Amino acid sequence: MASPRRPRAPTLGEELDALFMEFFRLKASYPDRKRGLLGLERRWLRRTASPARRLAVRRIIAKTLLTEAFGFDMPWEEFGRWFRRLQHLGFRDLGMRVHVACLYVQSLHLFPQRAQEAWDMLEDVERGVRRLPLERPLRHEHLESIAHARAVAQIPSPG
């Protein structure tokens, strides 16, 4: 007789998805989302021993909180906290850099004094994207994201 299989534990992505479903159901505010995401981060850091996986968890949560801060039009004190944390942790890949740079430029109406840094970052990341081979599908997607950020930015590039 075969022993019954233990159900596998959910992945971080699955737990994150479930948490967002709960946020949507409850129409959660930014502070509630932040609290929930930081709680999820704490739980995953407790059960993750590998330094590389711990870094990955921190990056995922910081990127998610930055995206939430953007969505809720948070001021620099909050948006910048997650932006600086991601800079400190390091960007996982070019896609994460594109995402962060686009959010930064699109948020400048809330902190226009940061325009030079944000536009410099967007231009730097665009140079990186343009170095990708033409046939790479992500190259086109990233360039579309950058073009969109430029089009909707309320604060023009100072340069």
Please state, in angstroms and as integers, the Cα–Cα distance from residue 106 to each residue in 10, 42, 68, following that order. 34, 30, 13
What is the token pair recorded at 73? 């039009």
pLDDT of residue 76: 98
Express each pLDDT in 82-109 by its tens digit.
Answer: 999 999 999 999 999 999 999 999 999 9
Express each pLDDT in 144-154 by its tens digit.
Answer: 999 999 999 99
For residues 92 and 59, give the distance between their C-alpha atoms in angstroms, rounded to a whole number.
8
User: Under a CB-based contact definition with an 8 Å cutoff, are residues 153 and 106 in contact?
Assistant: yes
Domains in the chain: boundaries: 12-90, 93-154
If you average pLDDT over residues 23-39, what whole number do you get? 98
pLDDT of residue 3: 64
For residues 154 and 90, give the distance between their C-alpha atoms in angstroms, rounded to a whole number.
27
Residue with tokens 């910048």: 80
